[in-house]
Structure 1
Amino acid sequence: MPGLLSLQRDVLRQPETNVTNPPDLDQIRRLELLEAYDILNTPPEPEFDDIVLVASEVCGTPVSLVSLVEANRQWFKASVGFEPCETPIEQSVCAHSLASPDLLIIPDLTLDPRTAQNTLVTEPPHIRFYAGAPLIGPDGVAIGTLCVIDTKPRPQGLTPSQQKVLAALSRQVIALLEHRRTSHRKDELFRRQKGMAANFRATVNKTIAAQEAGRIGTFEIDIVTDVIAASAEFCRIFDVPAVPTYPAKTFQDMVVPSDRGLHSTDRNRSDGSASMNVEYRIRTASHGVRWISRHAVLEQDETGRPVKMIGTVQDITDAKRTVLRTQALLDLGDRLRDLDDITDMALVASDLMGKAFDATRAGFGLVDKAAETLTIQSEWHSVEADALALKHHFRSYGSYIEDLKRGEPVVLSDVKADPRTSGTANALLALGIRSFVNLPVLDHGRFNLLVYVHHDHVYDWTDEEVAFIRSFGDRVQMAMAKLQAETEQATLNREIGHRLKNTFAMIQAIATQTLRPVTERGHVQNFEKRLFALSKAHDILIHDQGNASIRNIVESLDETLAMPGRIDLDGPDVVLGPRGALSMGLVMHELGTNAMKYGALSQPDGIITIRWVIDESGPEPQLTFFWQESGGPLPKPPERKGFGSKLIQMGLIGTGGVVTSYEAPGFSVEMSASLQQLQQAN
């Protein structure tokens, strides 16, 4: 069956159609209606054949046709006395009758200028008389005619009675076409309905299977009655018996208190403000806390009032907990980094671990292996659970202490079913513990810390979850050990610092007594100041636990000189090792002392600009240090080089790499050294 576009292309292919003579709207509408009737090129049908027979008999003509006018031909649905089933549009007399709703009667075709040259007139069959009633559809579009034809002229045309019959028969043709179209539509609709019903049944079966396989439940809430119709999978997810309907409140009450602002209620469903796509937690009867992902839409009545909520739910607990566990590990590292208290560390870890599992409790306890006791150090518990007592004897709750002593994790899905706890299950159940993981954390082989996670329902722990708990315990234990080591190191550093200060004080006292007879006191004072600079550098190292930043060393010089605002410094954060820090501290002292005596700091307006940069263009990174004085007296090289000058020339690590200048605007020095050597521990 040709489509509408093909019919329109037929119109555009007509020889007489061009830019100046486009197809008229009536012609396009005629082709559209013919397309809709789906009548062209169909076999003969008795109902149409009877009409042309009656028309021929009533009008007394040898020929009668039901002629349908296309773009480039006229096709005959029924005919009497005319053998061709179609003729070219150029031979169509019927085309002249389409423009008027009235009958077209031409008594003598040879005398009418519209038809005188028609080959059907000038050549066989030499038709002479024509009368046609237009076939006009319900929307007023003419698609052809019911016509009668004679090979003899008929000056009198048709009688009024014949004209009425011919017009009535033309309307009957249209009625048949409409009936035929309606019948075809019904047949097609019926076929589609059957197909849709079959497809619907198949879809329903597939949907149910897919829901069960994908664990997706469906629901429909009648907002007026607040009754929910739920699928079997929905009921399984919410851990309730599979019955057709429930009060919606049944499932609202299962939402954990902290998530009830996310779930829909009768109020926000009624006013249309309920969130359509949400994730929330429910507490089920036998599976504890579960994560639900819900997607829904609201159906409204003709006034716009919500009447139904329809949607799906899916249990996303496993995926959600995987994400939460990953995030908990990331958060643990971030939060432990900022803590300096062991109790706070354990409390933070307990909180993150408990929430990642939606557990009843999670925490850490100190173990006395000999006494077989556990002392709770820190614990997180859900709002529904109570905190545990401070101290517990393992044997009061089963025999699993033997596993813990061997360094093995204890993983129980159901304390009532496990032989290690079945005899003491009531003691555990009284604490709200139905399943748990106890994981020993060993410190150099010693069992002194326990990590635990509790559920108040049966729970099948996975290997990944146990590994997660172990990772949590290990990280907390490492952080605690690091903090304890840092605390011990800080105590040791303070003691070393105190002893070093005493040592430097004793050296200074001995030097003072020894050098008292020396008449040139300047040398003695320089020695004392260098000794002080060395002591100050040691203070910085001890404060920074063996390392010191360039910025701290320079700022220490600024404090020592007691000339605020006279030193301008800039450079990246670079931490030096002990050797580099001591060397730079002594060099800074010499440079600062010289600046106060002879250079920029000897004048009120003099300043020192200090810069340091890292150059990574070579085989290994180099640190370059710049000292530039300005605003002081014009510099000049020293007449003789003392120890201070030699110390400066030795550079940052005693290997040279020093360039000095005594040009305006003031003394400057540039020192370069290997960054790696500067940062070495020794």
Structure 2
Amino acid sequence: MEDMPSTMTGVGGEPSWSEEERLRALNRYSILGSERETLFDEVARLAADICEAPVAMVGFITADRHWLKAEIGVGSRDLPLETSFCRHAIQDSGLFVVPDLAQDPRFAQNPFVTGEPGVRFYAGAPLLTPEGVPLGTVCIFDTVPRPDGLDERPARLLRTLARHVMTELELRRALAERDAEITAARYREEERRVAEAALVASEARLRERTADLVRAQRVGRIGGFEVDLRDGNRSRCSPEYLAIHGLPPESWNESHEDWVARIHPDDRTRTERMFLEAVAEGLTSYDFEYRIIRPSDGAVRWIGALAEIEHDGDGRPLRLVGAHSDITARKEAEDALRVSEANYRALFEQAAVGVARVGLDGIFLEVNDRFCTIAGHDRDWLIGRNFGDITLPEDKDRDRASLTALVAGEMATYTVEKRYLRPDGGQVWVNLSVGLVRRPDGTPDHAVAVIEDITDRRRVEDGRQLLVRELNHRVKNLFAIAGGMVAMTARTTRTSVEMARVLTGRLGALASAHDLIQAAVVGSAGTEAVCLQKVAAAVLAPHRPVGEYLGLGGPPVSLGPGAATGLALVLHELATNAAKYGALSVAHGRLDLTWTVGEGRLDLEWRESGGPPVVPPRRAGFGSRLAQRTVEDQLGGTLGQDWWPEGLRVTLSLPVDQLGS
């Protein structure tokens, strides 16, 4: 049996990872053994639908099995590793395709090939981590071979589904890591609070070393105090405590009422209640934040209070040892941050242009409403997707290269004009200005993009360029036709008087034809209907009178102003080319234009004969492209050309219901 190698798309050679590294990477995603989920089932279903295959899987290769997160047409979630096709697929970073498994020596004896279900075709896209380590595949099977492999579109979409699966796994892992970081941060914060309370307790136990304690408090801007809970809650306060509260030295032994009177009226009731409840309910510590009005200068200051409450063997409160710190600067910074965030949020959401925060990998982190309107997608759809998902393929590389250069520090900002592809298939031109936001240590954090919709401006510019090209084309054609008329008239007349008379008539007919088509050029059609015979005769009059060398024939057909100018423009382009290269370029060349109407369509045939030998052009010129676009876009029809040796034949088929417009 002749070997039939698989078709693979990707980077060949030995993998850059070891099996041990691959298994460690797989375990980091915590996916193995999880329950079925709709998201992954839909990926498998989409893969089967896109590739028109009866079997599809989203699976992961472990050390001893092929485990399926989702499957269509398999019926099991655990498969033997030794019969797994995907363990071969993950050895390559690209799409792995086997057109006929029975012809591939690696799989020909596989029981899934030789027995039920008798698979013959395989295609799998690897699930790659950001480091390029494969975890498994999104794959499909068919029970019949596909000698031509997988078409470009399903192949591309299969790779896209694999990337979407990895995006979901990356997001889940990031969320899990974030939750772990939050838990660790809370734990560290609790440790900090416990440590500070322990510091206060230690200072109380070392009261005899007052000088060292005072110096430590002054350096740390922490005011220590002790409250005797058995003697009316009187406090003994350190010098730094007195300085923070704006009290004179003689106030070192203040009463509970003195402390309460100093608390800001808006915080007084709440703060005293929290203190009394902490003592009464047997708590061992508390952590308060409240405002005071400092007696020394009347300033409002924020106090952060930490304390420990000691109890006797029966649980009765004995004393409270604590520390106060002036946290006004922190509170003001928090308020300023809230105001700044509110201002930023208002600017972000109410901006007249689109604004987006984009990760260094091109993933949308945050977008405003205006950007959603420009892109045609809602916010939930955009967040977490790459900007390349909505960028036209031909614009992606330039944008990605600019972002890479920005992150590398090769430029401070960049601006590009590019196109987004909207969900309805339309395109929107945008002006994209991108800058980089850096962390305090100077490393890049994310990019901010400002997006302006310039579709209308580009449409005007493109229209202007098209008009300039069309006018240039028209002028060249007029000169070419006029030159041809002069040469042909000179060959067919005997005297200068006769030549002047004939040439004047032909130039007049050319002017009339030009008047008829100028509306199509500048977009200003008239309002009256005309007949097809009149339009054809007017356009062809500069080249031939109806008779021996020009035949026009067909039933009466009435054309609306738009259809008349559009059809006149097409006939004019055909006549111009015939006058340059075809039957109208020689004296005895013949042109026949005939038409019929039936089954809701107008069918026209342009047939040249007796002209120079026909040579098909290597590429379509501007005039030919203009005629093709006019027939298809303006008249809603089709245009075909046959380059027969005896002469060009052109066929037009137009819907009758478009002719009255």
TM-score for the superposition, normalised by structure 1 = 0.30
Greater gyration radius = 1
Q: Give the TM-score, by structure 2 length.
A: 0.30
